[in-house]
Amino acid sequence: MSPRPPTPLVAGNWKMNTTVGEGLELARALRDALDGSGVEVELLPPFPHLVGVRGVLQGSSLLLGAQDCYAEDKGAFTGEVSPAMLVGICDDVLLGHSERRHILGESDELIARKLIAARRHHLRVILAVGETEAERLEDTTMAVVDRQLRSALESVEVGDGELVVAYEPVWAIGTGRTATPAQAEEVCVHIASRLDELLGEVANTVPILYGGSVTAANAAELFAEPHIHGALVGGASLKVDAFTAIVRAAEAARSGDAGSR
């Protein structure tokens, strides 16, 4: 019998959007719509919102994550936020998002150090990987994803339920050009097999998300793919109706999976 798929996760990356007041209002509306969901639902607001949003989500099933953290616990790193500061506030931290890799110049080596630091503080890590459009056209997608996974995971101990991987083709993020379900599934299958090699049995507990222009209109067909266990959602996570519809699609796909076993 094949292992039970990990619990799906739909995570909303708000990026650098919303004032603190707007963020609290959005968090309240999402909590009211999505508390008690049959899948994991997580909000990733900007740093200044985290303490307030934690208060809003208290007692609900929604998880809270940070969009990044630094690789050191404290010290002279002006403007950075350490994983030690997120403990007790956040469940998860997103690392390796393509905007950090490509706009802010983060290297594979820095992302690996951040991952070690986050795990030292027992934060679950959502590790984002994915190729640029040029890399896809050069047919190096799998090699790029391999390099990003290996470099992030080869020097860290990861246990059951401590990691999520998000496959996010850079050309699909914020562009409205979603990968087709077949394109996304092909890379997610590849990621699953690399995780098997890198993590052994723990790999079965790692949800693999797709991210890149996920909307209410395309979520269901992406979630129908067997190796896509949810989504990392950017733009649509700022709209209550759209994000709720994406979560409902993940719930429907999950109950379909359970029915087919």
Note the residues at the interface with ligand PEP (CB under 6 A): 13, 15, 168, 173-174, 211-214, 232-236
Helix or strand or coil: residue 208? strand
Q: Which amino acid is at 208?
A: I
The one catalytic residue among 168, 185, 225, 251: 168
Q: How far is the CB of 88 from ligand PEP (least distance, A)?
A: 25
Q: How many CB atoms lie within 10 A of CB 2?
A: 7
Q: What is the rounded distance in angstroms from the CA atom of residue 74 to the CA atom of residue 102?
A: 25
Contact 127, 162 (CB under 8 A): no
Q: Which residues are paired to 231 by β-bridges? A: 10, 210
Q: How far is the CB of 45 from ligand PEP (least distance, A)?
A: 13
Q: Which is nearer to ligand PEP, 37 or 213 (CB)?
A: 213
SS3 per-residue string spanning 229-260: CEEEECHHHHCHHHHHHHHHHHHHHHHHHHHH
Q: Which residues are paired to 166 by β-bridges? A: 128, 209
Q: How far is the CB of 56 from ligand PEP (least distance, A)?
A: 21
Closest residue to ligand PEP, Cβ-based?
234
Q: Which is nearer to ligand PEP, 15 or 254 (CB)?
A: 15
Q: Which is nearer to ligand PEP, 13 or 148 (CB)?
A: 13
Q: How far is the CB of 12 from ligand PEP (least distance, A)?
A: 9
Residue 168 designated active-site: yes
Closest CA to 91 of 46, 68, 51, 123: 123
Q: Which is nearer to ligand PEP, 13 or 244 (CB)?
A: 13
Q: What is the rounded distance in angstroms from the CA atom of residue 75 to the CA atom of residue 117?
A: 14
Q: Which is nearer to ligand PEP, 47 or 202 (CB)?
A: 47
Cα separations in angstroms, 240 against 99, 200, 253 = 24, 38, 20
The one catalytic residue among 97, 106, 135, 251: 97
Residue 121 designated active-site: no
The structure tokens listed for 75 are: 């010290």
Q: Which helix H or strand E contains 150, and what residues bound it? A: helix 141-153
Catalytic amino acids?
97, 168
